[in-house]
Amino acid sequence: MSDLVDITDAEFERIQSTVYHRFGIDLSKKRTLIRGRLNGTLRKLGYRSFGDYLEAVDTDETGARLTEMIDILSTNHTFFFREADHLDYLVTAALPAIYGGAVDLSETRVWCAGCSTGEEPYSILIALADAFGMKALPAHPLILASDISTRVLATAKAGVYPVSRTREAGDIVKRGYARQLDSERIEMSQEMRRRLLFRRINLMDAEFPFRHQFNVIFCRNVMIYFDVPTRVRLVAAFRRHLRIGGFLFLGHSESMGRNVAGFQYLQPAVYRRTE
C-alpha cells in the first residue's frame, strides 16, 4: 500500500488554481506530479492532509510557504548549451545585425527569463566569450537571469555543477571559464559569475522592474508550462521590454508561429522586434 497522502479533487483544484493565477503555470493535468512532489513536504512539516498543508500556506503572511510550494512544483531540468543553435545564431547573426557590424558588448543587455539553475545564462556568457573574447565582456553584469524559484536561483548563484551537465559546452575548465572541484563537479569562475545578475521575478507580474529595454531576451522551455492566452500575454510583455530591432529566443517546442504582433519571424523560435 502506498504511504503517500492522497489528494482530494477540491485540494487538487485549489493548488492548481493558485499556481495558475499567481504564477501562470498550468498544472491542470498534473495531479500525480502535485501529489508526488508535495508529499515529502507534508511529511517533513508533519501535516496529515493536503487540506492542513494548504491552510498553512494560505495563513502564512510571510509568503514563505507559498514560495516553497512553487519551488517544489517548478520543473527544473537543463544542461549547458541546450539548443545550442540559438547561441550560434546569437553571436553570428543577431548581435551583428543589432550593431550593424562590430559588436559592442558594453552596450548589450540580455535577459534570460526562467533561467532555472543557471546553465542557460552561463551558456550564453560562454558563447559570447568564445566568439568575442573575455576582454570584450564588460566588467559589469550584462545578463539578467531571473526565475520564480528561490531554490534554483541559489544554485545558479553558487555556480557549482555536475560535470555531466557541462559536456555539450566542451572543456570549460581548460578555456578558463570554470575550475575543477573534484572528479564530478566544476565551479564557474568569479569572472563569469560577476557578469550575471540573478533576480527573482514572477513572469505573471503586471509590470517588470526594468528601467531600460533589452537587446536580447531568452525565454526557452518555460512557456511549455503556460496555456496559450498566458503565452500570448507574456510575449506581448517581452515586446514592451525589448528594443526595436532586438531579438527574442523561445524554446524549440514553444514557437508561436510566423504571425506574432510586432515581431518578424526569422526561424523556428527566433523573432525580431519590428515595431
Residue 2 banded pLDDT, cuts 50, 70, 90:
low
H helix runs in 133-274, sequence order: 150-158, 190-193, 228-240
- Specify the pTM: 0.84
- The per-residue pLDDT for range 211-270, each reduced to its tens digit, is 899 999 999 988 877 888 888 899 999 999 999 999 999 988 777 778 888 999 999 899
The residue among 246, 141, 153 whose CA lies nearest residue 195 is: 141
Residues designated as active site:
37, 147
Indicate the residue type of 116: S
Domains of the chain from N-terminus onward: 9-73 (1.10.155.10), 84-158+190-273 (3.40.50.150)
Question: Residue 235: exposed, middle, or buried by beta-carbon count in 10 A (0-12, 13-18, 19+)?
Answer: buried
Strand pairing of 242-250 and 270-273?
antiparallel
